[in-house]
Amino acid sequence: MDQFLEFISSNLQLFYILILAIFIGFELIKNVPTVLHTPLMSGANALSGVVIVGAILVMLQSNPEDYLALSLGFIAVVLGIINVVGGFAVTDRMLQMFKKKK
Amino acid sequence: MSITLSILYLIATVTFVVGLKMLGHPETAKKGNLTSAIGMGVAIVGTILLAEKEVPTIIYILIGSAIAVGGIIGWIIAIKVEMTKMPELVSLFNGFGGASALLIGIVEFNKNIGVDSSEKASISIIATIIAAIIIGSITFTGSLVAWAKLNGSMNDIRFPKYNLINNILFIGLVAFATYIAVLNTDSAILMYGLLAASLVYGFLFVVPIGGADMPVVISLLNSLTGIAAAITGILYNNMVMLVGGILVGSAGLILTFAMCKAMNRSLASVIFGAFGGADVAAGSGSTVGGTVKKTSASDSAVLLNYSDNVVIVPGYGLAVAQAQHVIHELEELLTSKGVNVKYAIHPVAGRMPGHMNVLLAESNVDYDKLVEMDDINPSFPNTDVVLVVGANDVVNPAAHNDPSSPIYGMPILDVENAKHIIVNKRSMKPGYAGIENELFFNQKTNMLFGDAKDALTELVSELKNM
């Protein structure tokens, strides 16, 4: 328990950001019309690909001889970037369809 | 972390917030997506080029090739995918994001706790790593199952008492995780045990869920991927990951709630309860009887031709049959004959939220013709013909008048108030959980059996000859 409290107090800033971000997320999405739900979801999906930053950090911090860490990191980067590039590209394609009618 | 990199992360974080905001409005959506994409690019490039310590060239080469390979794969998938397959695609990408988080968790476990660590990590770090592994794994297998089910390569499997089994497994998972964290163990075997248990839970969690409930599952998994990313962000004290992940997490949760509301379920019943389960369906004892009236394409064409107001109700059957272009053709043809045609869009029609809107947009249907449920319901009594294409549960009157039905209380499109109803279905097979639909036995209903694309094509050619 002490350790837990210590973790919170030493990362207080982190928790402020965490809580505020939750509220921002709720507020941003609250009134989105049904028509945009699918693009919104795939756009948000692309954003969750931000996990790739962590995957890159894993590789950057690995010892070049640590083959296990490097190969796991490599797969993580590949999967993360597929999520990012694919997600943004397909969202763009979808929104293009909504746009051309007007 | 260098100051430049911190500032780049700050910029990226702001583009995520602004981009997501813009994505919520039809006029700015495209720019919003682009804004976030640029921010993401900045964060990725910054992370690589502004590394804290000296990094061997070979690692840069590896990172570069990983990005090139994955980037090309992602791009090709995005360009080639059919719009009817969007739910599958989002699930697949979700799974990739989750897998990425879980791999990071494994490496960090080895580094901080397991074999490679020099000193014991604090309980908070262990808890964070474990959370990343658990949530990443559940998202990974859960999304892959959702993907497999959506593309038809896996059927719903329902074990007896599967709810009980899943809930016990879930509680066991939490207990196991707490045990590892408190024990502060360096045992890789325990970690891999936890990994395996999480993967199994993710699988079992989605396997019993029926097709019509997919919109809820997909948005829930989407939210979970975001949370997994945010947790890895805490691990690295990395703000762009934290904020980006949490934004997706809470946005996904909002959509999940919206879907739950549209299906009249609580989120608790989605996660822990009877979710499209056989247990519930067994409770609906009332059988619907009566005779079904079959109709032909030519009779339907006559009916439609001499109507003033027609409402089309599209459902998943439309997507499966790839009939979005034919239906637009039908709509244009009727409009040219002076018929007023609208589409009624139920919030959970299709297999993901807003799925029908995307399909109809693909075939160039006018935005103004798509009417949401609450706006179109009052106009059904003045509607001459409702054409239901491949939709079932969202037009089932049992939601209003049969308290024993599993979907009782779910908001539906009140098509039974229209003067005539034409239902296009492949067969009399009921929708999810085997609920009969008394609408099909309604005096006013004519059943037009057949694949949506074939039936509509025939309808169009009949109309052209009139």
Pick from B148, B355, B90: nearest CA to A82:
B90
Q: Is B248 found in the same domain as B167?
A: yes
Stretch B370-386: mean pLDDT = 90
What is the pLDDT, as a whole number, of residue B276? 46
> In this predicted model, what pLDDT tens digit does every residue of B155-180 receive, in sequence order?
766 666 677 777 888 888 888 888 88
CA distance B294 to chain A (A): 33
Vertex B256 angle, CA B140 and B77, to 5°:
45
Residue B66 counted as domain residue: no
- How many whole angstroms separate alpha carbon B62 and alpha carbon B57? 9
Candidate from B211-215, B259-263, B284-288, B379-383 with smallest mean pLDDT = B284-288
Please tell me which residue of chain B has the smallest CA distance to A4.
Answer: B124
| Residue B337, pLDDT above cutoff 70 | yes
- Kindly indicate the confidence band of residue B401, based on its pLDDT and cuts at 50, 70 and 90: confident
Chain A residues with CB-CB distance to B16 below 8 A: 47, 50
Would you list the DSSP string of B92-120?
HHHHHHHHHHHHHHHHHHHHHTSTT-SSP
Asked if the ipTM is above 0.90, the reply is: yes
- Kindly indicate the confidence band of residue B261, based on its pLDDT and cuts at 50, 70 and 90: confident
Vertex B220 angle, CA B214 and B223, to 5°:
145
Number of structural domains found in chain B: 2
| Residue B28, pLDDT above cutoff 70 | yes
What is the pLDDT, as a whole number, of residue B285? 41
Helices and strands (H, E) in chain A, number of each type: 6, 0
Place of tokens 């609208």: B342
| Residue B154, pLDDT above cutoff 80 | no
CATH of the domain at B390: 3.40.50.1220
Mark whether B454 is an active-site residue: no
What is the pLDDT, as a whole number, of residue B271? 62
Number of structural domains found in chain A: 2
Stretch B74-87: mean pLDDT = 90
- How many whole angstroms separate alpha carbon B391 and alpha carbon B431? 9
Nearest to A53 among B23, B47, B362 (CB): B47
Angle formed by the axes of helices A37-47 and B355-362, nearest 10°? 100
Residue B11 counted as domain residue: no
CA distance A82 to chain B (A): 4
- Kindly indicate the confidence band of residue B258, based on its pLDDT and cuts at 50, 70 and 90: confident
Nearest to B354 among A25, A34, A47 (CB): A34
Kindly state the percentage of chain B with pLDDT values over 90.
39
What is the pLDDT, as a whole number, of residue B286? 46
Q: Is A80 found in the same domain as A53?
A: yes
Stretch B420-448: mean pLDDT = 80
Q: Is B259 found in the same domain as B323?
A: no
Which of B154 and B325 is assigned the larger pLDDT?
Answer: B325
Where are the alpha helices (H) located in B236-296, listed in sequence order? 239-262, 267-271, 278-283
Pick from B192, B373, B403: nearest CA to B286:
B403
Q: Is B223 found in the same domain as B312?
A: no
Q: Is B448 found in the same domain as B405?
A: yes
Q: Is A64 found in the same domain as A74?
A: yes
Rounded to the nearest integer, the mean pLDDT of chain B is 85
pLDDT along chain A (102 residues), means of 10: 74 86 88 83 92 94 88 95 95 83 47
- How many whole angstroms separate alpha carbon B139 and alpha carbon B137? 5
Which of B430 and B457 is assigned the larger pLDDT?
Answer: B457
Q: Is A37 found in the same domain as A25?
A: no
What is the pLDDT, as a whole number, of residue B83? 85
The pair of structure tokens assigned to B84 is 């009817």
CA distance B255 to chain A (A): 8
The pair of structure tokens assigned to B391 is 């939709």
Catalytic option among B393, B402, B414, B454:
B393
Residue B272 counted as domain residue: yes
- How many whole angstroms separate alpha carbon A79 and alpha carbon A76? 5
Pick from B374, B255, B346, B211: nearest CA to A38:
B255
What is the pLDDT, as a whole number, of residue B157? 66
CA distance B89 to chain A (A): 9
CB contact under 8 A, B71 and A59: no
- How many whole angstroms separate alpha carbon B79 and alpha carbon A93? 8
For chain B, the residue count is 466
Candidate from B99-113, B389-403, B430-444 with smallest mean pLDDT = B430-444
What is the pLDDT, as a whole number, of residue B158? 64
- Mutation test of the interface with chain A: which of B14, B69, B100, choosing the one with the most A Cβ atoms within 10 A? B100
What is the pLDDT, as a whole number, of residue A102? 44
Candidate from B90-99, B303-312, B399-408 with smallest mean pLDDT = B399-408
What is the pLDDT, as a whole number, of residue B278? 40
Q: Is B306 found in the same domain as B170?
A: no
Virtual CA dihedral for B262, B264, B269, B275, nearest 10 degrees?
-80
Q: Is B434 found in the same domain as B343?
A: yes
CB contact under 8 A, A82 and B74: yes
Full domain range(s) for residue B141: 87-279
- Kindly indicate the confidence band of residue B279, based on its pLDDT and cuts at 50, 70 and 90: very low
Candidate from A98-102, B227-231, B292-296 with smallest mean pLDDT = A98-102
Q: Is B221 found in the same domain as B352?
A: no
Candidate from B159-173, B200-214, B259-273 with smallest mean pLDDT = B259-273
Stretch B304-330: mean pLDDT = 90
B197: Cα within 13 Å, side-chain hemisphere: 21
- DSSP state letter for B450: S
Q: Which of the listed residues B279, B312, B329 is the one where a domain comes to its end? A: B279
| Residue B149, pLDDT above cutoff 70 | yes
Q: Is A89 found in the same domain as A62?
A: yes
Q: Is A48 found in the same domain as A27?
A: no
What is the pLDDT, as a whole number, of residue B442? 87
CB contact under 8 A, A39 and B239: no
B257 CB burial (10 A radius; 0-12, 13-18, 19+): middle
- How many whole angstroms separate alpha carbon B380 and alpha carbon B309? 9
Q: Is A24 found in the same domain as A49?
A: no
Place of tokens 């045992």: B187
| Residue B322, pLDDT above cutoff 50 | yes
Q: Is A38 found in the same domain as A21?
A: no
Q: Is A42 found in the same domain as A8?
A: no
Q: Which of the listed residues B279, B309, B327 is the one where a domain comes to its end? A: B279
Contact B263, B405 (CB under 8 A): no
Q: Is B423 found in the same domain as B376?
A: yes
What is the pLDDT, as a whole number, of residue B280? 41
Contact B226, A87 (CB under 8 A): no
Q: Is A58 found in the same domain as A87?
A: yes
Buried b (16+ CB within 10 A) or exposed e, A33-66: ebbbbbbbbbbbbbbbbbbbbbbbbbbbbbeeeb
Stretch B249-274: mean pLDDT = 77
Q: Is A80 found in the same domain as A43?
A: yes
Stretch B255-263: mean pLDDT = 82
Q: Is B204 found in the same domain as B103?
A: yes
| Residue B247, pLDDT above cutoff 90 | yes
Full domain range(s) for residue A4: 1-31
| Residue B120, pLDDT above cutoff 80 | no
| Residue B277, pLDDT above cutoff 70 | no
Stretch B372-379: mean pLDDT = 90
Pairing type for strands B340-345 and B420-425 reads unpaired
Q: Is A86 found in the same domain as A57?
A: yes
Chain B residues with CB-CB distance to A54 below 8 A: 100-101, 104, 229, 232-233, 235-236, 238, 241
Buried b (16+ CB within 10 A) or exposed e, B38-58: ebbebbbebbbeebeeebeee
- How many whole angstroms separate alpha carbon B173 and alpha carbon B425? 43
Q: Is B304 found in the same domain as B233?
A: no
Chain B residues with CB-CB distance to A37 below 8 A: 255, 258, 352-354, 357
Q: Is A50 found in the same domain as A7?
A: no
Q: Is B201 found in the same domain as B261?
A: yes
